[in-house]
Amino acid sequence: MTLLTQHILVLVPLNCYPHPLFSLLNSPKKSQLYTRTGDKGESSLYNGERRLKTNRIFEALGAVDELNSSIGIAHHYCKKSANGLDEQLIEIQCNLQDIGSNIATPRNDSSETQIRNTAFDEGHIDKLESWIDHLDSQLPPLRNFILPSGGESSIFLHQSRSICRRAERTAIPVVEANDADETVLKYLNRLSDYLFAAARFAAKHDGLEENVYKKAKSGREATIQHRAL
Amino acid sequence: MLAGRPKIYTKTGDKGTSSLFTGERRPKDDVVFDALGTNDELSSSIGLAREYCLDQGEGIQGMVSQLEQIQCLLQDIGSNIATPRDLATAPRLARTEFDSNGQHVQDLELWIDTMDQELPPLTSFILPSGGKAAAALHVARSVSRRTERRVVPLAQEQRVDKSVAIYLNRLSDYLFTCGRYAAMKAGRQEVLYKKPRAPRIKKMPASEE
């Protein structure tokens, strides 16, 4: 694949299948999904550089991609229950695409134009905070640890939250090496708070109870309880 | 915003560090947070599996309450992981001790044995399948294995109680059995592994080959 197409591939959403460019590049007969260029365990960055797929940059990119997929499921259920979160979730998915471009463009090894085109703006974090404040103002205060529960929308949002934390962990070494913008870490950190508030909001909207943490009974009591079930 | 209400977001983690139960701050990519975060993912996927078990209802109501109890225990496991055994004070260690008498593991074993009695013997590999509840239980099982892999190195260095690693090991067996049991109660066939055939596709003769 040429350098030019790699540039455009990152700018056009990666999850857009079939990618509009593929039809330009290949003969129409063969599926254009597989390029076979990654068969030896390498993949390319936005700057054209090829690195091993085990490189921390691909680890972070992959986790952000997983996060995006899980938000996709959460979006499906939120839309179904009409809780009003769906548009925010889509904007977040677009932001995650931009975060992917930021991570895929190592600040240390890319051109100024590439860096400028993929900068991630601080303003997105302010927006998340305003969403969190708005959701939170409608929620009862937290008095207990809550368990991931409260219906499908809420649970998928909790699942996204926990995957978001993993994405943040994998992005840290990349940001620390100054290869991605600090705003990426800030956004991911705030996003897990948003997903937490959104999960609670979704449960409340669906009129479903959140289960709270209870200290487990000693094993013996639990066993007796189980036998009684 | 309500007055005097603490915000969910503290911003203290924006620079990539977080704090342990001991008050110590560490980078978020520290092995301890990796284990904690994976444990959290596990609780979320169990929450999802539990929801599908609730929907399925018939014959697996006991499993629903077991899964909720397990979620609470995972919270306790989180406290244990967040309190490094080699660094914390004695009172903190005591407060976050996990399953020192092995009872929680025995419960899992009892639950496994009870379900296993009703299940047909395993004669071949099964694929994650058997309806929504069963498939979600298989996802939880695989996340449980990942959590175990993150915890084992910490347990070996005695930074987390050994009982935590033992519990997670048994938990994946429990979730596997639950997956099969839920499929059976749903009257669903589990998909069995079959060796896929890979016929050689004749390629157009190419001059360079």
* Torsion angles phi and psi, residue A80, rounded to 5: -60, -40
Partner residue facing B47 (CB), from A137, A149, A165: A149
Partner residue facing A186 (CB), from B14, B41, B46: B14
Copy the structure tokens of residue B26: 């560490």
Is the per-residue pLDDT at A7 higher than 60? no
Percent of chain A clearing pLDDT 90 (strictly above): 68
Is the per-residue pLDDT at A118 higher than 60? yes
- What pLDDT score was predicted for residue B208? 46
Tell me the nearest-neighbour CA distance from A25 into chain B, angstroms: 21
Q: What is the DSSP string of B121-142?
A: PP-S-B-S-SSHHHHHHHHHHH
The answer to whether the beta carbons of residues B86 and B157 sit under 8 Å apart is yes
HSE-CB for A223 with a 13 A CA cutoff: 14
- What pLDDT score was predicted for residue B126? 84
Place of tokens 């695409």: A97
Q: Which residues contact B81 (CB under 8 A, 6 or more apart)?
A: B32, B35, B36, B39, B151, B154, B160, B164
DSSP-derived 3-state class of residue A114: helix
Is the per-residue pLDDT at A4 higher than 50? no
- What pLDDT score was predicted for residue A74? 95
Interface subset of A 164-203, CB within 8 angstroms of B: 165-166, 168-170, 172-173, 175-176, 182, 185-186, 189-190, 193, 196-197
Copy the structure tokens of residue A189: 């950190």
Is the per-residue pLDDT at A24 higher than 60? no
End-to-end CA distance of chain A: 62
Quickly state the pLDDT bin for A41 (edges 50, 70, 90).
confident
For residue B91, give the amino acid letter. Answer: P
Tell me the nearest-neighbour CA distance from A113 into chain B, angstroms: 26
Residue with more model confidence, A148 or A3 = A148
Segment among A130-134, A224-228, B92-96, B164-168 with least mean pLDDT: A224-228
Residue count of chain A: 229
- What pLDDT score was predicted for residue B115? 96
Segment among B10-14, B110-114, B173-177 with least mean pLDDT: B10-14
Quickly state the pLDDT bin for B114 (edges 50, 70, 90).
very high
Is the per-residue pLDDT at A227 higher than 80? no
Mapping DSSP onto H, E and C, the string for chain B reads CCCCCCCCCCCCCCCCEEECCCCCEEECCCHHHHHHHHHHHHHHHHHHHHHHHHHHCCCCHHHHHHHHHHHHHHHHHHHHHCCCCCCCCHHHHHHCCCCCCCHHHHHHHHHHHHHHHHCCCCCCCECCCCCHHHHHHHHHHHHHHHHHHHHHHHHHCCCCCHHHHHHHHHHHHHHHHHHHHHHHHCCCCCCECCCCCCCCCCCCCCCCC
- What pLDDT score was predicted for residue B127? 87
The answer to whether the beta carbons of residues A155 and B48 sit under 8 Å apart is yes
Average confidence (pLDDT) over A6-32: 52
> Computed over its alpha carbons, how large is the radius of gyration of chain A?
21
Q: What would the pLDDT profile of B165-201 be if each residue is shown by its tens digit?
A: 999 999 999 999 999 999 999 998 888 888 877 777 7
Tell me the nearest-neighbour CA distance from A68 into chain B, angstroms: 15
Contact criterion met (CB < 8 Å) for B1 and A226: no
Q: What would the pLDDT profile of A193-218 be if each residue is shown by its tens digit?
A: 999 999 999 999 999 999 999 987 65
Percent of chain B clearing pLDDT 90 (strictly above): 76
Quickly state the pLDDT bin for B154 (edges 50, 70, 90).
very high
Cα distance between residue B124 and residue A99, in whole Å: 43
State yes or no: ipTM above 0.85: no
- What pLDDT score was predicted for residue A190? 97
Copy the structure tokens of residue A156: 């998928």
Q: In terms of Cα–Cα distance, which of B133, B113, B147, B124 is closest to B184?
A: B133
Q: Which residues are paired to B25 by β-bridges?
A: B19
Place of tokens 């994946």: B172
Place of tokens 């379900």: B115
- What pLDDT score was predicted for residue A1? 39
Q: In terms of Cα–Cα distance, which of B130, B75, B171, B168 is closest to A147?
A: B75
Average confidence (pLDDT) over B41-70: 96
Q: What would the pLDDT profile of A81-116 be if each residue is shown by its tens digit?
A: 999 999 999 999 999 999 999 999 999 999 999 999
